[in-house]
């Protein structure tokens, strides 16, 4: 060490590519009751169909969930998606269910045949029956983490192009040689990971019919041991070359040692689409199957583990090729691993010296190749475990054993994780930096089994896929369901009004101005005594808008006009329509939800000051700052103080009990307004108005703002002023319908998915 | 004067509404040969079908075109649309055809039955036959201007609401009273307009079988005279009230004096959808039919005339109600008009004193009601004609008579107008302030008979309509044919590349960075010796882009990265692909045009300096500034001088004959680049690449930029680098295809119309 390969990487200045790769994780976990018994409930129906769900399936038993991440170039993305999947899974289970956070199963029934296997298709059932016969159901109840890894393809290509094309016949051969090298060394050094990650010190009652066959003392990892874990016993699969691997695998299948490749429980597998494919195009990735569930993290594997594994595999590649007979070496590796796996975790390892050497080598490796800081962090955590066995997971777990069981500990962890994962309803764990509406849409997609790809995180750009049907979504509901022209259309209030009016809809009368003089001359002639609104043509969230409920003085008119001019060159002067403004969310020609937005306000209790009432209202966990929550805090800023002053209030005044005090005129939820779902209260006759407006503007997903003086009184076409359409939106907020302050929540993000993927027949609740 | 109505208007501060109204114009004109004979060619086929064309039809004779504008609230809009229609008409005629600019027809054949009548439907033919029988064909060959007018509806409503609701039973009654007042006074004061606008001093040979029946001297307006003009002779239609008008009209039809309302040739008509409708909902507008074609303007009526008419009609409303017997008054009015119409224009009018009084009254009216400046301008022009009869159109025309004919004058004007209207191919007259691509699309729509409404002029927002099918278009090709998501999609180069690459298309390799350090560390590893481009993620027209054809020094890399950072936070570092970049315009899944864009350059002639060659190249009339022309001037700015310097040139250097010198790297036409249509040269195999990219991105109308090293060599899927897709656009430029510097023009704006209105079966040329 360092070998020639890594010398070349350094010389060709390719070391940054060592930080890249491709990663994916699978994680199994048992659904259990609050008492730690296997859940008897079927797989949650909210999770759609297991026949295609790409992320959340079941393993052997019906309650044995399996989370499968996509492949990512960064481990942090794997961790984020795994966290999201864990949240979606746990949010979709019954309230009384939890995910058992240990690899070794909870208490199993006396008669293993009462363990319900998952048999959602005949083929699945047949394979489960085969496994039952061959291994028994108990063993199949062990859960774990699989980790899929491949090197940066750019690294492989550039190494081959710039150096190894003279040494290998093809890129494939070169690539295969790299993976074979990692796989060979992995078997040899597996014990390192068993020491660091081992977390199955004991089995719960019922794991074996005769529990006395288990070791007398706790161990580091029952699951990783030859005797008690998942293994094909004496089966020998060759790692001399890809060809040898494929050949030995085929032989094992022909002999009946394996029913198929998937039954091979080796700690590492070479993977491609199929064995035939592997011979033709080479190894796609390596699958490592040996990791116990880490019970100290909700995802079963933490970021340091993910990064350490990446580091470790590269390190294995940097080691010299194993000398001597490979089969012997593999045998040695297995023995070392078994030794570590069955050690008492309360004692230091017999192999501590070797472990320390490996850690020192790894530190040097990080330094030599200028690897990312995250590798150093991962190394630091693992090095502590090597230096002090009391830092290992197995030691800590052993300390948690009560009455020969980890049940109490496991349930405590399971409940804590479920609480953490599900307490913030409006967030999708792992993606909390994204817009809340996108988080909700992704939650729904993950739940129903649509494939989710975040194409541009900062821009809220995701792709959803079902089979060969791809749909792009931006900001939660900008999709292919609407028209390109609709964006500029609804951004342009004047054109919107022209169209609505030309189809006979009632809109506020008004005109567009650039010059103050023309506006001043005109407005009296056009509006007389009517109330008016002055606003920038292209306004956002109510900025620059002034409302006059009676005819303003010329000075006030000019001041308001000039204020609007600070936001836009074009200014609209419109009649002001009295009545409450409602947001009708229309999707696919149908009103999905109606919301009343009430400007920021407090209601007096006769004792508290306005400032106190504001603070109290802001205590609502749905309220917060910077759009990180569905509702926004009320502020006592300049605008609010002015509005209070106009009503004769100061923040330290105590309003009468029951009197409502408004702090803003503007009803946008983003300004601290209240949101009240009134879908069931609003007279249905108004739905047609909103739907017609959406139709005229050719909008599929839209929010239509309509002034309705009385929501209970049916619309009368003889009195068009009973429904005045103010504007439409092409990217309507969904969050306020998903999480209204009052009234019924409407799961409108799921409706978006229904519309995008009608073939999926998603049902909303 | 002022009457009570106008006192109220003033007191209610409604005078600004006097500046408003609704206006429309119809203009007839004969197609003639360059020798002044009636054209024997059929109505131009490029103008689509007369059965629905809303703007360009034929009147009585096949060569008698009729332009019909929409109704607008401002006269300036009428004038603009009329100009555009005139351009479209004249551009669609044969090269050898012109529009006769006089009301009186050109030389008519001896046998009037050889004048081809337009008979494109059986109903049309039947009516023409009736007219032939009743009036003869010669009289029907007279052309003129019709002017439709209504008052501001806001004015009427506000007056009624705030004052007249006590005086009239209904808004309709009040409104009808206003229109009746104008109509009555109009008949009385018609002579004023005949004096000002009269422009038919003589008839050309053949107008009467016996030409000696015409007046011995030239007159102001043959056409406006009772004897020689279009009239229903002694028919008396009543203007006492709307009811009386309808009743007398019905009587005339019952008597066989009129075949229908449309045969009524009175100088003013009350208009509604039908006579029945008029009784029910009142007068919609007034139609004034008495105006000669003004031969000094291409549209036959100029802006001052349009405004003067508006002013005049309001003035008529302000006059006291006619006293005494209305029929007598009308008779008096007709006589006065006939007197003026048949006066010798070389003499002052007998009614000059009355005319001067009217003009003085009008001046006072403008002042009293603070009317817009444009009324003052119109008044000034007309007042000159009253003060000096030599300023009248009829005087000027009389001066132009040669050998008892105006043919020479008419042909000179006709040819001048056609030249002016059609010389600037890339503009639509009347709308030259709009984007050129929108002008071209509107040209095509006007030509094919789609209804065109400019909804927001500054924002290039138009609505096209065919029957009940409406389509919005912004910036020439943002339409309902594309998806809302496509805008943000193609704006996002990273997402675009992800999608294209995931479908197996070749795109430039690259990565996105925010931090300089990461980029510097990465680029060598990822790109090695390859040429690279550094650019802002969201760039426009090539700003902030640096290309390195060989691996840059670290300093150069950093400088380029920082330059890009001045445009965007996200920076892309991509491999640079050698080869020419082509723009494939794809519409409806098919390549419509392929363009090569060549960066600003000149080719030496061995004698001129670079500066001189640039100036020479800029002489091309297609080149100009500020996107007002299809191609843009080449500048000798900072960037260009730097590029010259890098090649060892100064602007005063004389390049070798035939040597091409580039002034920029960037090939955007907007930077002075050349555009060359290569649709027929490009190997068809590349069309599939562009079409596939459009398909993947789900774009209907798009420009796909592809690097193709050799356009003649067919694409080989084994060598994907033969077509590297750079980016897509959702609002692709059309102008460079419509007016390429070299190669064949492609009428792609017409393709947009075809796609929007497939039911119209538009054929492109």
Cα torsion at A238, A242, A243, A245 (round to 10°)?
A: 30
Nearest by CB: A484 against B154, B455, B730? B730
Q: Which two tokens stand for residue A258?
A: 């394996």
Q: From B371, B400, B423, give the residue that closes a domain.
A: B423
What is the C-alpha to C-alpha distance for residues A715 and A681, in angstroms, rounded to an integer? Answer: 14
Instruction: Tell whether A200 and A345 lie within a shared domain.
Output: yes
Nearest by CB: A484 against B486, B495, B521? B486
What is the C-alpha to C-alpha distance for residues B39 and B29, in angstroms, rounded to an integer? Answer: 12
Q: What is the pLDDT of residues B57-76, one digit of tens each?
A: 998 889 999 999 999 999 99
Q: What is the pLDDT of residues B413-424, one digit of tens each?
A: 999 999 999 998
Reduced to 3 states (helix: H, G, I; strand: E, B; else coil), residue A666 is coil
Instruction: Residue A536: give its domain's CATH number.
Output: 3.30.1490.20
Helix (H) / strand (E) containing A483: none
Instruction: Tell whether B141 and B265 lie within a shared domain.
Output: yes
Instruction: Tell whether A590 and A613 lie within a shared domain.
Output: no
Chain A contacts of B158, Cβ < 8 Å?
A: 525, 528
Check CB contact under 8 Å for B484 and A488: no
Q: Tokens 């022009």: give the residue.
A: B381
What is the C-alpha to C-alpha distance for residues A343 and A543, in angstroms, rounded to an integer? Answer: 68
Any residues with CB less than 8 A from the CB of B637 and at least 6 apart, and which?
Answer: none
What is the C-alpha to C-alpha distance for residues A225 and A338, in angstroms, rounded to an integer? Answer: 5
Q: For B372, which residue in chain A has the nearest alpha carbon?
A: A518
Partner B contacted by A546 (CB < 8 A): no
Check CB contact under 8 Å for B456 and A486: no
Distances in whole angstroms, Cα of residue B117 to Cα of each of A442, B231, B724: 68, 20, 59
Partner A contacted by B17 (CB < 8 A): yes
**Residue B474 in domain:** no
Which is more confidently placed, B478 or A322? B478
Helix (H) / strand (E) containing B275: helix B275-281
Note the pLDDT of residue A198.
Answer: 96
Query: Taking 70 as the threshold, does the pLDDT of residue B765 lie above it?
Result: no
Sign of CA dihedral B127, B128, B132, B138: positive
Check CB contact under 8 Å for B480 and A481: no
**Residue B440 in domain:** no
Å between A47 CA and nearest CA of chain B: 27
CB atoms within 10 A of CB A550: 10
Instruction: Residue B281: give its domain's CATH number.
Output: 3.30.590.20
pLDDT grade for B541, boundaries at 50, 70 and 90: low
Q: What is the pLDDT of residues B105-159, one digit of tens each?
A: 999 988 888 888 888 788 888 888 888 888 888 888 999 999 999 999 989 999 9
Instruction: Tell whether A44 and A148 lie within a shared domain.
Output: yes
Partner B contacted by A517 (CB < 8 A): no
Chain B contacts of A499, Cβ < 8 Å?
A: 455, 463, 472
Chain B contacts of A458, Cβ < 8 Å?
A: 570
Q: From B575, B597, B631, give the residue that closes a domain.
A: B575
**Residue B122 in domain:** yes
Q: Which two tokens stand for residue B627?
A: 């996107």
Mean pLDDT of B428-444: 95
Mean pLDDT of A544-555: 84
Partner B contacted by A455 (CB < 8 A): yes
Query: Taking 80 as the threshold, does the pLDDT of residue A705 lie above it?
Result: yes
Helix (H) / strand (E) containing B268: strand B268-271
Interface of B with A in 701-730 (CB under 8 A): 730
Å between B748 CA and nearest CA of chain A: 19
Phi/psi at A228 (5° precision): -110, -10
H helix and E strand count, chain B? 24, 23
Instruction: Tell whether B597 and B664 lie within a shared domain.
Output: yes
**Residue B457 in domain:** no
Cis peptide before A166 (omega within 30 of 0): no
Partner B contacted by A486 (CB < 8 A): yes
Q: Which two tokens stand for residue B655?
A: 């390049």
Closest CA to A447 of A687, A754, A142, A211: A754
Q: Out of A336-340, A362-366, B79-83, B667-671, which region has the weakest mean confidence (pLDDT)? A: B667-671
**Residue B473 in domain:** no
Chain B contacts of A494, Cβ < 8 Å?
A: 455-456
What is the C-alpha to C-alpha distance for residues B594 and B679, in angstroms, rounded to an integer? Answer: 4
Q: What is the pLDDT of residues A651-698, one digit of tens each?
A: 999 999 999 999 988 778 888 899 999 999 999 999 999 999 999 999
Query: Taking 60 as the threshold, does the pLDDT of residue B1 lie above it?
Result: no
Check CB contact under 8 Å for B482 and A483: yes
Reduced to 3 states (helix: H, G, I; strand: E, B; else coil), residue B93 is coil
Mean pLDDT of chain B: 91
Q: Out of A161-170, A417-426, A591-600, B321-330, which region has the weakest mean confidence (pLDDT)? A: B321-330
The alpha helices in B428-576, defined as continuous H runs, are: 436-448, 486-491, 493-502, 516-527, 554-565
Check CB contact under 8 Å for B525 and A158: yes
What is the C-alpha to C-alpha distance for residues A565 and A571, in angstroms, rounded to an integer? Answer: 7
Partner B contacted by A522 (CB < 8 A): yes
Note the pLDDT of residue A33.
Answer: 96
Q: For A730, which residue in chain B has the nearest alpha carbon?
A: B484
Instruction: Tell whether A608 and A523 lie within a shared domain.
Output: no
Domain count, chain A: 4
Check CB contact under 8 Å for B528 and A481: no
What is the C-alpha to C-alpha distance for residues A596 and A298, in angstroms, rounded to an integer? Answer: 39
- Could you report how far apart the first and last alpha carbons of chain A are, in Å? 60
Phi/psi at A491 (5° precision): -70, -20
Q: What is the pLDDT of residues A570-603, one digit of tens each?
A: 898 888 888 888 999 999 999 999 999 888 999 9
- Mutating which of B484, B518, B554, B568 best tests the A interface, going by the most A Cβ atoms within 10 A? B484
Contacts 24+ apart (CB under 8 A), A108-115: A108/A38, A108/A138, A108/A141, A108/A204, A108/A205, A108/A206, A108/A207, A109/A38, A109/A206, A110/A206, A112/A136, A112/A137, A112/A138, A113/A137, A115/A38, A115/A61, A115/A141
Chain A contacts of B458, Cβ < 8 Å?
A: 570
Cis peptide before A2 (omega within 30 of 0): yes
Chain A contacts of B478, Cβ < 8 Å?
A: 484-485, 488
**How many CA atoms lie within 13 Å of B532's alpha carbon, on the beta-carbon side?**
29
What is the extent of the structural domain holding A348? 4-423
Cβ–Cβ < 8 Å for A581, A725: no
* C-alpha angle A754-A758-A759 in degrees, rounded to nearest 5: 130
Check CB contact under 8 Å for A484 and B478: yes
With 0-12 / 13-18 / 19 or more C-beta atoms within 10 angstroms meaning exposed / middle / buried, residue A213 is: exposed
Q: What is the pLDDT of residues A729-758, one digit of tens each?
A: 999 999 999 999 999 999 999 999 999 999
Check CB contact under 8 Å for A492 and B522: no
Q: What is the pLDDT of residues B171-190, one digit of tens each?
A: 999 999 999 999 999 989 99
pLDDT grade for A2, boundaries at 50, 70 and 90: very low
What is the C-alpha to C-alpha distance for residues B72 and B82, in angstroms, rounded to an integer? Answer: 12
Q: For B512, which residue in chain A has the nearest alpha carbon?
A: A456
Nearest by CB: A484 against B13, B455, B482? B482
Interface of B with A in 350-369 (CB under 8 A): none
pLDDT grade for A1, boundaries at 50, 70 and 90: very low
Check CB contact under 8 Å for B472 and A485: yes
Partner A contacted by B12 (CB < 8 A): yes
Check CB contact under 8 Å for A525 and B482: no
**Residue B476 in domain:** no
Nearest by CB: B495 against A14, A461, A499? A461
Partner B contacted by A153 (CB < 8 A): no
Note the pLDDT of residue A125.
Answer: 84
Instruction: Residue B638: give its domain's CATH number.
Output: 3.30.470.20
pLDDT grade for A395, boundaries at 50, 70 and 90: very high
Å between B449 CA and nearest CA of chain A: 21
DSSP code of residue A462: E
Cβ–Cβ < 8 Å for B312, B203: no
**Residue B438 in domain:** no
Reduced to 3 states (helix: H, G, I; strand: E, B; else coil), residue A572 is strand
Instruction: Tell whether A662 and A515 lie within a shared domain.
Output: no
Query: In sequence order, what are the beta bridge partners of A677?
Result: A595
Any residues with CB less than 8 A from the CB of B138 and at least 6 apart, and which?
Answer: B105, B108, B112, B115, B206, B207, B208, B209
Instruction: Tell whether B169 and B57 lie within a shared domain.
Output: yes
Partner A contacted by B466 (CB < 8 A): no
What is the C-alpha to C-alpha distance for residues A330 and A368, in angstroms, rounded to an integer? Answer: 28
Mean pLDDT of chain A: 91
Query: Taking 90 as the threshold, does the pLDDT of residue A29 lie above it?
Result: yes
What is the C-alpha to C-alpha distance for residues A581 and A533, in angstroms, rounded to an integer? Answer: 14
Cis peptide before B2 (omega within 30 of 0): yes
What is the C-alpha to C-alpha distance for residues A660 and A712, in angstroms, rounded to an integer? Answer: 22
Query: Taking 80 as the threshold, does the pLDDT of residue A123 lie above it?
Result: yes
Å between B268 CA and nearest CA of chain A: 29
Instruction: Tell whether A114 and A33 lie within a shared domain.
Output: yes
**Residue B437 in domain:** no
Instruction: Tell whether B596 and B529 lie within a shared domain.
Output: no
Nearest by CB: A478 against B473, B488, B570? B488
Which is more confidently placed, A288 or B572? A288
Q: For B456, which residue in chain A has the nearest alpha carbon?
A: A495
pLDDT grade for A168, boundaries at 50, 70 and 90: very high
Partner A contacted by B461 (CB < 8 A): yes
Chain A contacts of B489, Cβ < 8 Å?
A: 461, 472, 474
Closest CA to B217 of B203, B233, B199: B203
Cβ–Cβ < 8 Å for B258, B235: yes
Q: For B488, which residue in chain A has the nearest alpha carbon?
A: A474
With 0-12 / 13-18 / 19 or more C-beta atoms within 10 angstroms meaning exposed / middle / buried, residue A255 is: exposed
Q: What is the pLDDT of residues B526-538, one digit of tens each?
A: 777 778 889 888 7
Q: Which two tokens stand for residue A496?
A: 């919107």
Chain B contacts of A12, Cβ < 8 Å?
A: 528
Size of interface A-B (CB pairs under 8 A): 129
Query: Taking 80 as the threshold, does the pLDDT of residue A354 lie above it?
Result: yes
The alpha helices in B403-482, defined as continuous H runs, are: 407-422, 436-448
What is the C-alpha to C-alpha distance for residues A692 and A685, in angstroms, rounded to an integer? Answer: 11
Q: From B408, B423, B438, give the residue that closes a domain.
A: B423
Mean pLDDT of A608-615: 93
Å between A731 CA and nearest CA of chain B: 10
DSSP code of residue A662: E
Q: What is the pLDDT of residues B222-266, one digit of tens each?
A: 999 988 877 776 778 888 999 999 999 999 999 888 888 888 888
Check CB contact under 8 Å for A487 and B487: yes
Instruction: Tell whether B652 and B513 lie within a shared domain.
Output: no
Å between A462 CA and nearest CA of chain B: 9
Q: For B524, which residue in chain A has the nearest alpha carbon?
A: A13
What is the C-alpha to C-alpha distance for residues A328 and A306, in angstroms, rounded to an integer? Answer: 30
What is the C-alpha to C-alpha distance for residues B346 and B340, in angstroms, rounded to an integer? Answer: 12
Report the length, in residues, of chain A: 765
Nearest by CB: A15 against B17, B162, B525? B525
Instruction: Tell whether B245 and B132 lie within a shared domain.
Output: yes
Q: For B526, which residue in chain A has the nearest alpha carbon?
A: A154
What is the C-alpha to C-alpha distance for residues B721 and A53, in angstroms, rounded to an integer? Answer: 37
Cβ–Cβ < 8 Å for B567, B554: no
Distances in whole angstroms, Cα of residue B119 to Cα of each of A34, A690, B64, B92, B112: 89, 47, 12, 20, 16
With 0-12 / 13-18 / 19 or more C-beta atoms within 10 angstroms meaning exposed / middle / buried, residue A579 is: middle
């Amino acid at each position: 060490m360092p070998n020639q390969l890594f010398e070349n990487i350094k010389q060709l200045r390719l070391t940054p590519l060592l930080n890249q790769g491709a990663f994916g994780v699978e994680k199994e976990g048992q659904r259990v009751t609050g008492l730690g018994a296997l859940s008897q409930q079927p797989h949650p129906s909210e999770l759609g169909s297991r026949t295609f769900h790409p992320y959340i399936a079941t393993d052997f038993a019906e309650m044995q969930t399996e989370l499968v991440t996509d492949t990512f170039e960064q481990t942090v993305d794997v961790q984020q998606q795994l966290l999201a999947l864990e949240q979606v899974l746990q949010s979709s289970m019954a309230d009384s269910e939890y995910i058992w956070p240990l690899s070794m199963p909870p208490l199993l029934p006396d008669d293993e045949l009462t363990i319900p296997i998952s048999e959602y298709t005949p083929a699945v059932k047949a394979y489960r029956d085969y496994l039952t016969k061959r291994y028994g159901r108990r063993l199949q109840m062990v859960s774990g983490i699989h980790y899929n890894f491949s090197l940066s393809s750019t690294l492989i290509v550039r190494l081959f192009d710039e150096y190894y094309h003279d040494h290998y016949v093809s890129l494939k051969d070169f690539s295969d040689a790299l993976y074979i090298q990692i796989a060979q060394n992995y078997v040899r050094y597996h014990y390192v990971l068993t020491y660091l990650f081992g977390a199955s010190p004991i089995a719960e009652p019922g794991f074996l019919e005769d529990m006395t066959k288990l070791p007398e003392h706790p161990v580091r990892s029952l699951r990783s041991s030859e005797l008690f874990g998942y293994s094909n016993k004496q089966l020998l699969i060759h790692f001399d070359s890809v060809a040898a691997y494929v050949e030995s695998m085929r032989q094992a299948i022909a002999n009946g040692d394996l029913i198929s490749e998937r039954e091979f429980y080796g700690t590492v597998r070479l993977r491609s689409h199929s064995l035939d494919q592997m011979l033709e195009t080479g190894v796609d990735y390596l699958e490592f199957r040996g990791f116990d569930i880490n019970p100290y993290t909700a995802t079963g594997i933490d970021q340091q583990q993910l990064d350490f594994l990446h580091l470790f595999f590269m390190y294995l590649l940097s080691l010299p090729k194993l000398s001597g007979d490979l089969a012997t070496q593999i045998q040695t590796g297995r023995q070392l691993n078994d030794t570590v796996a069955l050690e008492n975790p309360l004692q230091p390892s017999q192999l501590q010296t070797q472990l320390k050497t490996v850690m020192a080598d790894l530190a040097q490796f990080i330094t030599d190749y200028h690897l990312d800081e995250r590798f150093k962090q991962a190394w630091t955590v693992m090095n502590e475990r090597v230096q002090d066995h009391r830092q290992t997971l197995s030691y800590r777990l052993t300390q948690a054993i009560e009455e020969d069981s980890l049940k109490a500990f496991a349930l405590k962890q399971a409940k804590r994780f479920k609480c953490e994962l599900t307490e913030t309803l409006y967030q999708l764990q792992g993606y909390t930096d994204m817009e809340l509406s996108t988080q909700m849409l992704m939650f729904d997609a993950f739940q129903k089994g649509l494939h989710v790809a975040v194409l541009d995180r900062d821009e809220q750009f995701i792709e959803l896929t079902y089979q060969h049907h791809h749909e792009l979504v931006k900001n939660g509901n900008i999709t292919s369901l609407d028209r390109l022209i609709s964006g500029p259309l609804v951004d342009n209030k004047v054109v919107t009004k022209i169209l609505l009016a030309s189809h006979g809809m009632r809109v506020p009368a008004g005109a567009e101005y650039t010059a103050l003089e023309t506006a001043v001359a005109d407005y009296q002639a056009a509006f007389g005594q009517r109330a008016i609104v002055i606003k920038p043509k292209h306004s956002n969230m109510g900025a620059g808008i002034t409302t006059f409920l009676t005819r303003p003085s010329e000075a006030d008119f000019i001041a308001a006009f000039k204020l609007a001019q600070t936001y836009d060159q074009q200014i609209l002067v419109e009649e002001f329509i009295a009545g409450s403004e409602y947001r009708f969310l229309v999707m696919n020609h149908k009103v999905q939800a109606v919301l009343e937005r009430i400007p920021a306000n407090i209601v007096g209790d006769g004792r508290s000051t306005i400032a106190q009432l504001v603070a109290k209202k802001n205590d609502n966990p749905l309220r917060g700052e910077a759009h990180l929550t569905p509702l926004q805090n009320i502020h006592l800023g300049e605008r609010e103080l002015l509005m209070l002053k106009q009503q004769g209030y100061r923040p330290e005044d105590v309003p009468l009990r029951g009197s409502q005090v408004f702090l803003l005129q503007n009803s946008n939820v983003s300004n601290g307004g209240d949101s009240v779902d009134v879908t069931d209260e609003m007279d249905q006759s108004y739905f047609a108005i909103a739907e017609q407006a959406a139709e005229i503007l050719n909008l599929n997903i839209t929010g239509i703002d309509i002034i309705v003086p009385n929501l209970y009184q049916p619309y009368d076409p003889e009195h068009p002023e009973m429904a005045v359409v103010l504007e439409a939106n092409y990217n309507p907020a969904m969050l306020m319908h998903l999480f209204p302050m009052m009234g019924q929540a409407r799961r409108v993000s799921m409706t978006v998915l229904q519309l995008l993927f009608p073939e999926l027949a998603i049902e909303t609740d």
